[in-house]
A and B are shown apart, each in its own frame.
Chain A
Amino acid sequence: MAHPRERGSFRRQLSRRDFLRQSAGAAVAFSSAGAFLAACGHASNPNPGGGGGGPSASASLPFPLARQNNPVKWPIYDDNPPIASNLQPEKNAILKIYNWEDYLWPKVMKDFGKKYDCKVQLSTFGGVDEALSKIRTGQLDFDVYFPDPSLIGKLIAAKLIQPLNLDYIPNLTNVWPNLQDPFYDKGSQYTVPYVIYTTGIMWRTDHVKDDIPAMSNPYEIFWDSKYKGKIHIFDDYRESIGMGLLKNGITDLNTEDTAKINLSKDDLMKTIDEVHVTLDITDWTDLPEGRSWIHQAWSGDVVSAQYYMPKGVSASILRYWYPPQGGGAIGSDNIAILKGGKNPVLAHLFLNYLLDSKVAFNNFYNLTGYQPPMNDIDTHRLVSEGVIPKNLESTVVHPEDFDKALAQRLPRVRGGCLSG
């Protein structure tokens, strides 16, 4: 049987591209001018909640920057309380979902509508900026929205999302324990997790003969002039600078140290002339089409890439590397309920529904390719059960990866942090 993605769900190149590029833009917004990388509450940044030592960019923010060692419990405002418990779902309602394109399996919405006797209506956006500006107008009554951790503080400060009443969301216990109470939203007061992914290197074995995982520093492959013209790096300043830091052995991806950032920048500038680097985020189509042979990649996109192979080219040539011992960039997306929505009870039930292990798995397997962090999905059996092919085993995110990788995870667009 054909995989559903082959039939219908074609992620349009542009919207997808814009999605990530713009989300990158939103991430820049997190710190103000001058410091690109916000503080991480590391040993060098002793101020809790306030960013780094010295005149830190983050100090001027109207909300704290959450870090693994600086977890944030967001305030609940009097004028933005959670809904009461034991309310009945709204009648004759249209539940309005606001999400990325092709990031939610349509059958999930249909089944939910049947179960709770309501209509579920999906609207999509092409980028974070677009989504936020529409939400901020207050004219649209979307109920459910999918923010990444970098947006949570903003949305709470602007009172655009409402606190959750977890009485309606018992399925939260299905989620990995470390994400039931994440540092970027202690107590899951405003959000629940949706999907998780890592950032690593994707390549094709038919063109790349180097054994990348065996290299002493796999990131150096991005500077290998043998592959001139075929090396693509993410058009996302956090991912690209982060990769430059990792290449130099700097594991604190949230550093505000200008010298370290410049080290990464100088290395990245070299890729322009030495390997004619291309900047984009269409990793899941570039590699299958042969536009790139080596691509900085998100694990979920790697899973998708196998369905974009041209005729006659086997997906078995695809490979993905993420530091096996942990210590690469990792990220997540979350689900929140918008304050402007008209159906808060149904919205809570929908969040709960998405955290049903079976629903979450089907959504991952049939459409998104991005893995939900569910206890019932045995990550060590995804390959043996044929969900993920053997050659892409490294795309699987294990709960322990999060503990290792999240040591200093910064709430920002595409995750990013390291053990260390």
Chain B
Amino acid sequence: MWLLFLFVLPFYVIVCVALGTVDPIFGSAQPQWDPLRWDSTAMRYVLNQTFLRGGIYQPAFIRTLVYVGSALAMCLLIGYPVAYFITRHGGRWKTWLLLGLIAPFWVSYLMRMLAWVNLLQDDGLVNTALLRLHVIGAPVHWLEGQSITVILGLVYGYIPYMILPLYGFLDRIDPSLLEAARDLGASPTRTFLQVTLPLSKQAILAGSVIVTLPMFGDYYTADLLSSSPRTTMTGNLVDHAINSPFVTRAAGLVLVMMIGLLIPMLYYLYATARATREAAG
């Protein structure tokens, strides 16, 4: 039932919008509920522009993959050590450290991004600090359509969702397992590589899924930190299409993205199921 209401039904609505028509006066979507009367014009357009050579949606799709991939890698590279540190060395400060991690997220995402817009301006604090430290010779134009700014924005925005599941898993690893490894002569590095890391594989997968899914739909990060056509992501494509008479194309784009994301999702479910089976067996 839960799945029906929260997934199947919305999915069907999107399909009906994608294959429906638009209101002749207001240009709003008119979903076509009857599958026999579906009109595939918009869907074909989306597919052609996404998959055929030179399609206008292609650059944005490739860019999104690169951005999300890079942001995910950075989330892992930063998030894992942080989670590891809190679990192993947090001691009585654990709660405070976690609280410190979560505290900025009491402020809404948009407010935080707007704050970054201020910090990253040509004469903003970031440039001033970097200039003082002689890291850079001239102000960096962060907000002028730089890919790196958008990627860092994504990392900043979503990294807690990586750290928290990692922390949850790492915290549950029985310390006696690590002690056993050390007792058996494994070096700290080897203990980490052969015990901790394999045990946290599930957490890495879970964290990755949690951070990448919203990143794929994200458009406001690119909007606020760049608003340049050079950093258009798939989320922006949908956003643009929604605010045009081509609402049906927006739904089509959503479908393409959903199906694209279904593959890693299925792998995640498969991996989780296998891990549960292994744990049970």
Residues on A lying within 8 angstroms of B by beta carbon are 13-14, 21-22, 24-26, 28-29, 31-33, 60-63, 127, 129, 132-133, 136, 154, 157-158, 229-230, 235, 272-273, 276-280, 289-291
Q: Which of B110, B144, B244 contacts A14 (CB 8 A)?
A: B110
Q: Which residues from A are CB-within-8-Å of B245?
A: 28-29, 31-33
Q: What is the minimal beta-carbon distance from A168 to any residue of chain B, in angstroms?
A: 28
Residue of A nearest to B241 (CB): A25
- Per-residue 0/1 for B233-256: is the Cβ within 8 Å of any A Cβ (1 yes, 0 no)? 000000000111110000000000
Q: Are A61 and B227 neighbours in the complex by a CB distance under 8 Å?
A: no
Task: Determine which of B114, B144, B227, B229 lies in contact with A229 in the assembled complex, contact meaning CB atoms within 8 Å.
Answer: B144
Select which of B24, B25, B145 is within 8 A of A278 by beta carbon: B145
Query: How far does the alpha carbon of A33 sit from the alpha carbon of B228 in the complex, in Å?
Result: 25
Assuming the A-B contacts A29-B244, A276-B230, A290-B121, are A154 and B143 also in contact, with contact meaning beta carbons closer than 8 angstroms in the complex?
A: no
Nearest-Cβ distance from residue A313 to partner chain B, whole angstroms:
11
Query: Would you mind naming 6 contact pairs between A and B with Cβ atoms under 8 Å apart?
Result: A28-B245, A32-B245, A60-B24, A133-B28, A230-B144, A273-B230
Find out whether the CB atom of B28 lies under 8 angstroms from the CB atom of A278: no
Residues of B within 8 A of A230 (CB): 144
Report the minimal beta-carbon distance from B130 to chain A, rounded to whole angstroms.
17
| Complex partner residue of B26 from A132, A272, A289, A290, CB under 8 angstroms | A132
The count of A-to-B residue pairs whose CB atoms sit within 8 angstroms is 71
Instruction: Tell me whether chain B's interface is mostly helix, strand or loop, or mixed.
Output: loop
CA distance A380 to B110 in the complex (A): 43
Smallest Cβ-Cβ distance to B249: which chain A residue: A33
A277–B143 alpha-carbon span in the complex (Å)? 11
The residues of B that contact A280 with a CB separation of less than 8 Å are 227
Contact (Cβ within 8 A) B144 A154: no
Q: Which of B26, B121, B122 sits near A158, CB closer than 8 Å?
A: B26
Indicate if B123 sits at the interface (CB-CB under 8 A): yes
On whether the beta carbons of A289 and B121 are closer than 8 Å, the reply is: yes
> Which residues of B are interface residues toward A (Cβ below 8 A)?
24-28, 110, 114, 121-123, 141, 143-145, 226-230, 242-246
Q: With a CB–CB cut-off of 8 A, which chain A residues contact B227?
A: 235, 278-280
Q: How far is the CA of A291 from the CA of B28 in the complex (A)?
A: 34
If the complex has contacts A29-B27, A158-B25, are A276 and B145 also in contact, measured as CB distance less than 8 A?
yes
Provide the residues of chain A in CB contact with B26, threshold 8 Å.
29, 132, 136, 154, 158
> Is there an interface contact between A272 and B229, defined as CB atoms closer than 8 Å?
yes
Q: Are A291 and B143 in contact (CB under 8 A)?
A: yes
User: CA A278 – CA B122 in complex, angstroms?
Assistant: 15
Are A129 and B144 in touch, CB under 8 angstroms? no
Q: How far is the CA of A29 from the CA of B26 in the complex (A)?
A: 7
Determine whether the beta carbon of A291 is less than 8 Å from that of B243: no
CA distance A362 to B193 in the complex (A): 72
Cβ distance A285 to chain B, nearest Cβ, rounded Å: 10
| Shortest distance between the CB of A175 and any CB in chain B (Å) | 28
Of A25, A61, A132, A136, chain B has the most CB atoms within 10 Å of the CB of A25
Contact B243 A25 (CB under 8 A): yes
Set B122, B244, B246: member contacting A290, Cβ < 8 A: B122
Which chain B residue has the least Cβ–Cβ distance from A237?
A: B244
Q: Which residues of B contact A127 (CB under 8 A)?
A: 243
A26–B27 CA distance with the chains assembled, in angstroms = 8
Q: How far is the CA of A290 from the CA of B121 in the complex (A)?
A: 8
Assess whether B243 is in contact with A22, with CB atoms less than 8 Å apart. Answer: yes
Most A-side CB within 10 Å, residue of B25, B114, B141: B25
Beyond the given pairs A62-B24, A158-B25, 9 more chain A to chain B contacts, judged by CB atoms under 8 angstroms and listed by A's residue number, are A13-B114, A21-B243, A25-B243, A25-B244, A29-B26, A32-B24, A33-B246, A278-B227, A291-B121
CB distance from B186 to the nearest CB of A (A): 52
Q: Which chain A residues border B244 with CB–CB below 8 Å? A: 25, 28-29
CA distance in complex: A157, B26 (Å) = 10
Residues of chain B with a CB closer than 8 A to A31's CB: 245
Contact of B230 among A61, A133, A158, A272 (CB under 8 A): A272
Min distance, Cβ B109 to any Cβ of chain A, angstroms: 12
